[in-house]
Each structure stands twice: as structure tokens, then as C-alpha cells.
Amino acid sequence: MLPLLALSLFLVACALTKLLARADRRRREAATAAATAELSATQLTPSGDVLASYELRGTAQGEPVELLGDTTRPLPGASQQEARVCLVRVAAPLADLLVCRQGEVDVIMGPLPATPRLRAGHAPFDAQYAIFRSATGGDEASYRDGAGVARLPWARPELLERLQQLGLRWLRVRDGRAELAFPRLPPTAAIEASEAAAAFARAAAGKPPLPFASTTPTGSEPIETDHNDTGVIVSWGIALILCIPGGVALSFTP
């Protein structure tokens, strides 16, 4: 009797594993199809797995954009720390510039930055981020603007708010190119990050702003990586917990 019970539980665990794997495969196929459909409505061409490590290339708001959906990059500055981010690159005809989170200033710029810290003049953004610009960036601030407030052509409230909503990690301009780092993003939010980066490029070039396609951004969220591993482990765990006592009891049966 006990061998039959153990065998039955083993077969149930195998069946559950197969059902969970099949459901997961269908769910991923549906998510991939939905993400591909969203991307097809843009001027961005995807490559790679759109639910994991992917790239987008094309244009957003009329500006060339390159996006890496999941990449590991060192933090700006001399820090040896790295971060897994979604990275967007655009053209930006500006003096060298760095925007980072307030809590990472010491790590990135050191405890005594050689470059003065600036403010964008938008209180919510300034509370979360610090801005540093090279000395060639022109007039850093005017006493009429208040201490540390810089004239930044890209510091438009709607753009700053969008960068915050998408969880901007850092923004760096070097040699006329800008990179904007965000947390790893699913395709929907990556489209919005591409738009935000393109809006930054337009502002940097002195072009008029264009409205964002979505009024409420998706925001940052982890890339879909769940393959129902938990369900498989639980089903096998239940089977083993029930089978082991049966096997032990069987070993003492004459």
C-alpha cells in the first residue's frame, strides 16, 4: 500500500511540475506578444528577449535613441561600484554634466566635490538629486535666481517630474553625448524612458518640447523573470515530505 501511495504522490508532483511549466510558458508567450505589440506602435526596433535582456534602437520624439534594457555599468566618477540598470543614450550638445541621487553624491563625487553643486529650481527634483556641471558650462548661477540655481535649458518641470517617476539613477553628459540610467525596466516603461531621454535631447538642443505619449508613466518595476520556480519547488517539496515518511515506514515493514 505504501509503495503505491509514494508512487502516486511522485506522479502527482511530476504532473504539477509539467502543468506549472506549461502555464508559465503560455504566460511568457502572451507577455512577449503584448510587449512586441506595444513596441511595434513606436519607432523603436527591439532585439533580444523583450522580457529580459533587450535593446531598443530608433527614434523617439524625432531624436535618435539607443536603449539597453538590462546592463551592468559602473557608477559615474571614481567609484568602483556597479549597478544593473536600463541605459538610454542620446545626443546632447551641452557642457559635461552629472546628475545623481543625493544619497550617492559622496560615492560618485567624493566627500568634497571640486565642482559646485547646482539646483534645477524645481523643489521635488532638487530634494532628490544633485547636479554638477563643468566649469565651461557658462554662468553657473545668478544672485537673482537664488544660491546654486543654474540656468539649465533642460530643467523643465514636466521633464524633471518624468525622470523622477521613472526612477532616474544618474544622468551624465560627456563629449556631446548623454546617458540616462534608470532601474531595469519592462518594455512599456522603457518606451517612456526613451521618450524622456529624447525630451532631454530636444531641450539640450534648444528645440521646443513635445507632449509625452502617456500622461501617467508606468514607472520602474522589475523585469519579468518568474518562471514559476516557487510552484515547482513547493509541489516537489510536498511530495518529498509525504513520501519520505512512507519510505521510512516501509523500511520497517516485515
How far apart are alpha carbons 219 and 193 in whole angstroms? 9
Q: Is the pLDDT of residue 52 over 80?
A: no
Q: Which amino acid is at 208?
A: P
For 160-185, the pLDDT digits (tens) are 999 999 999 999 999 999 999 999 88
pLDDT for position 227: 46
Q: Would you place residue 140 in the very low, low, confident or very high pLDDT band (cuts 50, 70, 90)?
A: very low
Are the CB atoms for 173 and 92 separated by under 8 Å?
yes
Strand extents, DSSP E, 40-134: 43-48, 54-60, 63-74, 82-91, 97-101, 117-118, 129-133
DSSP label at residue 119 = B
pLDDT for position 238: 55
DSSP label at residue 207 = P
How far apart are alpha carbons 250 and 202 in whole angstroms? 75
Q: Is the pLDDT of residue 59 over 60?
A: yes
Nearest CA to 168 among 121, 124, 231?
Answer: 124
pLDDT for position 139: 46
Alpha helices in 41-145 (DSSP H): 105-109, 123-128
How far apart are alpha carbons 151 and 178 in whole angstroms? 18
| Residue of higher predicted confidence among 9 and 204 | 204
DSSP label at residue 208 = P
How far apart are alpha carbons 25 and 103 in whole angstroms? 40
